[in-house]
Amino acid sequence: MLSAATPGPPETIALDHHATGRVLAEPIWAVRDQPPFDASAMDGWAIPIGDPGVDGSYRIIGESAAGRGFDAPVGAGEAVRIFTGAPVPRGCTVVIQEQAERREQAVHIAHPPSATRANVRPRGGDFQAGDALLDNGMRLDAWRLALAASAGRGQALVYPRPRVAILTTGEELVQPGSGEPTPSQIFESNTPALASLIAGWGGTPIRLTPAQDNEAAIAAIVGDIQAELIVTVGGASVGDYDLVKPALRRFGLTLEVESIALRPGKPTWFGRLSDGRRVLGLPGNPASGLVSAELFLRPLLNAWQGADAALKLEPARLSSPLPQTGPREHWMRAAQAIDAEGRRIVTPFPDQDSSLVTVFARADALLRRPAGAAPLAEGDLVETLRLDRRR
């Protein structure tokens, strides 16, 4: 699947809040030191290093404020009023204002600091000119945007957002808010969930709604839709009403992955159309579809954006025993916690039925069990995949 995902040509964007979630297509380097001068860490007084003054008193000769420094020399027995972030005059240290007493045009300091650079942030203490600050392939967030801004960057090259069309089929499905379902229908929950995941993972979701649940209607809406990836939900198993693959064969569908030894998510498939568009087929059961989205759709979108596509697995200890697994790899919805010893503890939910949305809504991790794995005892280490959660 990943071999099909190649980033498109980079584009230049402004590094503002709209850049959040975009992936850099170039490194960002520091062009000057930060801070670009020795800066005061506190409000106080700048006095010459090692100068005891005249009986602890210093004549005030000026002021250094943020954005407006004091450029003249500071001699013995002299002091400059200084504020946090302001340039420190050459050869000076800083005494905080709580340790000084102003007396008209002089300031009295009973105990000048022994440290030569007390309360001073050194030039280049954060980063220095020529330092690599952000690497190609990094996804931008608020903190990385702050770092780029500190380096003076207003624009950057980023990879384009992959366009992902979501095709959900099934006459049993009713769109939430569109009316009351019949006794044989259910509300459709996969599309809003997938659209949210795709947007959060840097893609641009496009929702496709066939006019009818038949092969011709499905083919008509897929048509010339401009997307790097079409994600189908349901309609691709072995039932009489599974119409997605026959509809897509009109566009030269070639299957590259027919199913996966996965629980839940066995019906997941992957292929390509003759025009180069890729298709990821997800199961219709919500948990199956969302587990497969975490395992396959997210890495695909990362690869399309030039980001690291590897799953970020973390170790955790089981809170209770687990039986041996069957012939399919099992990804269990689970909850994480930190115990009194600071260890990550994971608890799989007792009911792992693939139709349960409530379980997925409470889970904050997927627990991986390899196919044919032996039973595990309480306290054994397992691999987990952390799910994004906003608390």
Give 173-190 pLDDT, tens digit per residue.
Answer: 767 767 777 777 776 778
Cα(53)–Cα(335) distance, rounded to whole angstroms? 64
**Residue linked to tokens 């569908």:** 253
Q: Is 1 within a domain?
A: no
Any idea what DSSP says for residue 3?
G
Q: Is 337 within a domain?
A: yes
In a shared domain, residues 18 and 147: yes
In a shared domain, residues 339 and 283: no
Q: Is 4 within a domain?
A: no
* Residue 33 one-letter amino acid: D
Q: What is the CA radius of gyration of the chain?
A: 30
Cα(179)–Cα(357) distance, rounded to whole angstroms? 21
Domain span at residue 58 reads: 39-121
Cα(298)–Cα(140) distance, rounded to whole angstroms? 16
Q: Which two tokens stand for residue 146?
A: 């702050």
Residue 236 has what pLDDT? 55
Q: Which two tokens stand for residue 71?
A: 């450029």
Q: Is 272 within a domain?
A: yes
330 close to 263: Cβ distance less than 8 angstroms: yes
| pLDDT-wise least confident of 156-160, 170-174, 271-275, 315-319 | 170-174
Number of domains within the chain: 4
**Residue linked to tokens 């498109």:** 8
In a shared domain, residues 63 and 179: no
Q: Is 67 within a domain?
A: yes
Split at pLDDT 50, 70, 90, the class of 170 is low
Q: Write down the pTM of the prediction.
A: 0.86
Please state, for a pLDDT cut of 70, what percent of the chain lies above it: 96
124 close to 33: Cβ distance less than 8 angstroms: yes
Residue 171 has what pLDDT? 63
| pLDDT reading at 152 higher than 60 | yes
Mean pLDDT for 247-251 is 95
The CATH number linked to 150 is 3.90.105.10
352 close to 285: Cβ distance less than 8 angstroms: no
